[in-house]
Amino acid sequence: MNPFEQHLAAVLDERRALSRYRVRPRIDSPQGPELTVDGVPYLAFCSNDYLGLANHPDVALAMREGIDQFGVGSGASHLVCGHSAEHHALEQELASFCGRERALVFSTGFMANLGAVTALVGRGDHILADKLNHASLIDAGLLSGAKFNRFLHNDIDSLCSRLSKIDSGRTLIAVDGVFSMDGDIAPLRQQVALAREYDAWLMVDDAHGFGCLGPNGRGTLDLLGLEQDDVPVLMGTLGKALGTFGAFIAGSGQLIEALIQLARPYIYTTAMPPAVAAATRRSLQLVAEQPWRRQHLGELIARFRAGAEQLGLTLMPSKTAVQPIVVGADADAQAMSHALRQRGFWVAAIRPPTVAEGSARLRVTLTAAHTNNQVDALLKALAEAQQELRKEPL
């Protein structure tokens, strides 16, 4: 066998042996609580469509109208001839929604993180990153060439001690606002104060907070009552609460201008289809006009937590739509997910290396499109699955 084939076969065998082989379920329906997977209907609790906008008729209509006006593809990168009036308007509306001077739309959140971090720091600089940051922030740090140091999750002393040892170069502190696999929130107030004290810049990836948190849905900063200039670099994604696709960086006019000049994943990639920008503009309006979505989501989160606690399930300290149930062993998490599937519920098991060894979990996510009855039905299925697997609480 060719050495590459040999290597790949060994990697795949190892994954299988560890029960870590990743598979892609094939979805046959639009997103929503009722999901058809491989032809079978399920009640799903694992999408990031937190506000239930991914299949909203107004958003779909805006996309169709966008196609009528602009066609299907953007045709080029933003700097050549792919930057449409829809992208431009979306950037202005995102900036205004976030209370920032400007925003820049990227094709994905992964690319927004890579682009911003590599544009801001390089050799001789420093990145301090929370240990549980999203993979894209980790890769961005490694790619940047800056000294990359991870501090203990949400631990202010750990961050402080690393900051105090830096004596040259610029320092970027990068954190998730809401941690994607735990659902907890970064202690941004203290991190803002530390960043100021040490003349560092704070970058927040608010992929899971934007649209959901705070009185206006502006995200984690809104929830914590932070001023926009407390966090000079804000990243948000559009494929989660906004239900569409893409991401943005918001900040000062100078930051955005610098990203247009320097951020390679912005410069050297095809712009998202203009119709996606048109659809996102509509969903951003819905986020602003329909606070009931956030309120209902909040009520579902409280209902789910109360019920899961009664069942003795191990929850994480999360007040967000991400409500993991920690199971522990990889095989147990898979078995639990399977037992739920047999009862008509689709909940993904998340295993290492995505989460730490011994902390495999069911990543339950709630959305504004779920009903109280659906959450109650999930709790009932969890109780049965738990009994079936262990005959005692997990």
Q: Which residue of the chain is nearest ligand PMP when measured via CB? A: 109
**296 part of the active site:** no
Q: For residue 244, say whether it is annotated as part of any ligand binding site.
A: no
The strand ranges marked E within 178-295 are: 201-205, 233-237, 247-251
Residue 277 as a binder of ligand PMP (CB under 6 A): the answer is: no
CA neighbours closer than 13 Å in the CB half-sphere of residue 134: 26
Residue 109 as a binder of ligand PMP (CB under 6 A): the answer is: yes
The single residue of 126, 240, 296, 370 carrying the catalytic annotation is: 240
Is the Cβ–Cβ distance between 106 and 153 less than 8 Å?
A: no
Q: Which of 188, 247, 347, 364 binds ligand PMP (CB under 6 A)?
A: 247
Q: For residue 88, say whether it is annotated as part of any ligand binding site.
A: no
**208 part of the active site:** yes
Q: Which of 130, 205, 222, 230 binds ligand PMP (CB under 6 A)?
A: 205
Residue 237 as a binder of ligand PMP (CB under 6 A): the answer is: yes
User: d(Cα 282, Cα 63) in Å, to the nearest integer?
Assistant: 9
Q: For residue 354, say whether it is annotated as part of any ligand binding site.
A: yes
Give the total of residues touching ligand PMP (CB under 6 A).
14
User: Residue 180 or 367: which CB sits closer to ligand PMP?
Assistant: 180
Is the Cβ–Cβ distance between 52 and 32 less than 8 Å?
A: yes
Q: Which of 207, 279, 322, 350 binds ligand PMP (CB under 6 A)?
A: 207
Minimum CB separation from ligand PMP for residue 88, in Å?
20
Residue with tokens 């379920």: 25
Q: For residue 83, say whether it is annotated as part of any ligand binding site.
A: no
The strand ranges marked E within the chain are: 34-37, 40-44, 102-106, 126-130, 147-151, 171-176, 201-205, 233-237, 247-251, 322-328, 345-346, 349-350, 360-365
**180 part of the active site:** yes
User: Residue 184 or 335: which CB sits closer to ligand PMP?
Assistant: 184
Q: Which of 31, 47, 84, 108 binds ligand PMP (CB under 6 A)?
A: 108
Nearest 5 degrees, angle CA 337-CA 347-CA 296?
145
Q: Assign 212 to helix, strand or coil.
A: coil
Q: For residue 208, say whether it is annotated as part of any ligand binding site.
A: yes
Q: Which of 49, 125, 130, 176 binds ligand PMP (CB under 6 A)?
A: 176
3-state secondary structure 146-173: CEEEEECCCCHHHHHHHHHCCCCCCEEE
Which pair of tokens denotes residue 283?
Answer: 């969903």
Residue with tokens 């994943």: 265
Residue 117 as a binder of ligand PMP (CB under 6 A): the answer is: no
Q: For residue 370, say whether it is annotated as part of any ligand binding site.
A: no
Task: Indicate the annotated binding residues for substrate.
Answer: 22, 134, 354
Binding site for ligand PMP (CB under 6 A): 108-110, 113, 134, 136, 176, 180, 205, 207-208, 237, 239, 247
Report, as residue numbers or ranges, the catalytic residues. Answer: 180, 208, 240
Residue ranges at the known binding site:
22, 109-110, 134, 180, 208, 237, 354
